[in-house]
Each structure stands twice: as C-alpha cells, then as structure tokens.
Amino acid sequence: MVKHYAIYDQGSSPYREDGLIMGQRTFGVLDGVSMPYSPQHPPKMFDGLSGGEMVARHCEFECKVQSGHIDPSLREVIGNASLSLALRLNEAGLALCDLEDAGSLPGAAFAIARLFEDKIEIVQARDCMVIVEFKNGEIIVSPNKARANDTEMHAHIERLQREIAQETFNLVLEEVPEDKRAQVRGEMWNRLYHILIAACRRDVNRRESPSGYGILNGQLELLDLLWEHTFPRDEVATLLLLSDGMIPWTVMRSTNDTEIGRTVLAEFKRRGLAGLLLSARGTEKQTVATSYTDQAEATAVALVF
C-alpha cells in the first residue's frame, strides 16, 4: 500500500505556473517559467494564460494522456511532451528560429515519478527536487543543476534592487516601505530583462555550458540534461517531489543538495507537507525586504510506502 499526499500554494504569484500530477501511477510537480518579462516588456499570453501557466497545463495534460493510453518510459513521455509543446508554440506564432532561442520560450522544470509493480522510475530537471529515502535509511537527492545560474541571477536581483532603492528613495533596500517594494521590484525586472534573456540563451538546455540546465520548452536538447533513475520499489520507504518554492533560496544557497534533502525529509516526517510549507513561509518572511517576491508558488507530492 502507498499513501499519497500533495500540497499546492500559489503564494503571491499572479499566475498559477506550478503544476501537479496525481495519476494512478504517475506523480509529479512542475514549475512553469514564462519567458522573461517586466513592466516595460509585458508577458506574452497564450489564450489568457502566462507562458509558464500554459506549459504547466500542457505538461499535466500530456502526462495524463500518455500514462493512460500507452506505456512509454518517462524519458519518452518528456520527449513527446516537448515535441507537442514545440508544435503548440509554433501555432501560437513563434517562428521555428524562435524555437531555437531559449530566451524567447516559456518552459517548465519538473520532478516526475512513475510506479511499477517492481520499480520506481524518476526524471527531474532544473531545480525541482527529488528526495528518495530507502528502507535501510540511505537517501538520494537530485542535483540542483540551476544552482550556478540562480546564484548569479539572485546576485543581480539584489544588486539592482539596492541601486534602485538608493536612487529612488535614498534608502537602503531593507528600509524601503512595504507599500513601495512593488515599485523597486518592477524597475528591477526592467533592468534585469536583457540579463535574463542572455542567461537563458547561455544556459537553458546547453550541456556545454558550465551553468547549463534542462527545462521543458520544446527543445529536445533537454533530454541530454535529464536526471534519470530507476529504483527497486520494495527498497523505497519515502519519495518526495518538490518545486523550488518549498525550499526558499536562502536555504538552497546555504548548503548542499544532500543536506537540504535530509533536513526536508526530517521536517516532513515531523510535520508533513503542510509543515514544510509553513517552514518555507516563515523563512521567506524573514527576508521579504530583499526578495523579488513575497511568497513563491510551492508544490509538493509525497509517497510513503
């Protein structure tokens, strides 16, 4: 018998870009990512959805359909979802040359598991996290391949916000009034816009980049950057699948993936997924004055065997 748990919280995000997969045998979390946008560069919408929302809904649907009618490997599921997403983007007006430009594409990070009678198959990309606890007490944690990129982008975000706070209000960032934070953040996104596009072009689905990572955005190069594992089902005790919002950046940057995994697993055993979310919200509150958002979207799935 397997016990299934899931949680989703939109946080302060204006869009519902995280995704949740809870099928009969297929489970997962998705973290949709819109192409870079800012107040001066409004987001491209897809039938009323942001790019990140559209990709998340697309992947939820593809995983449900493919799991229900055929029995491919998760690698094939991801490849098929990428191909169908490329067609959808093309139909939405993106030229074929745009599909080669990661700076022009929405996408999604993910952590997805599939249960078989004798095994558990897992695929993961970017900074969604997989934590596998075995019955012998050992754990395996997926690597955050976007750590170098995120470290660089967060440094730009803080630097720009500090510059804007000084220029606009003659204040250090921590002293900007709460009702003025949106003004600082909006101008930060304006200045970060071209930096983000360049970073996407350099790192997204680029195995040759030292800070490269995979993301599902219609490019099949993603398949070269998947974290893929298969484990004997009877050896697994607990499986956690988490979007990055469950682990605030201040935690993520402070230690390595394995230690984060151990801490998260212990917290889950004490307080469940709701407790994990509350911990994340408490951490975010402590650093909200210097963050780019008040509360990140957060999604998690737990399977206990």
* Cα 200 from Cα 31, distance rounded (Å): 16
DSSP state of 204: B
Handedness of CA 122, 126, 128, 130 (dihedral sign): positive
* Cα 182 from Cα 139, distance rounded (Å): 41
**Is 142 in a helix, a strand, or coil?**
coil
* Cα 89 from Cα 218, distance rounded (Å): 8
Across 278-297, average pLDDT: 97
Tokens describing residue 108: 């999604």
What is the pTM for the complete model shown? 0.96
Tokens describing residue 238: 């607990």
Quick one: the chain helix, strand, coil %, rounded to 5? Answer: 45, 25, 30
Tokens describing residue 212: 């490269």
Tell me the pLDDT band of 72, cut-offs 50, 70 and 90: confident
CB 80 within 8 A of CB 218: no
CB 155 within 8 A of CB 290: no
Q: Looking at residue 37, what is its pLDDT?
A: 97
**Is 304 in a helix, a strand, or coil?**
strand
Residue 101 has pLDDT above 70, yes or no: yes
Across the chain, mean pLDDT equals 95
Q: Which amino acid is at 214?
A: G
Strand residue runs (E) in the chain: 3-9, 18-22, 26-33, 45-46, 49-50, 107-115, 119-125, 129-134, 139-141, 227-232, 236-242, 298-304
Domains and CATH numbers, the chain: 3-143+213-304 (3.60.40.10)
% of residues, the chain, pLDDT over 70: 98
Contacts of residue 152, Cβ cutoff 8 Å, sequence gap at least 6: 199, 211
* CA dihedral of residues 37, 188, 242, 124 (deg, nearest 10): 60
Q: Which amino acid is at 225?
A: L
Q: Looking at residue 52, what is its pLDDT?
A: 98
Handedness of CA 156, 157, 160, 165 (dihedral sign): negative
Across 156-176, average pLDDT: 98
% of residues, the chain, pLDDT over 90: 91
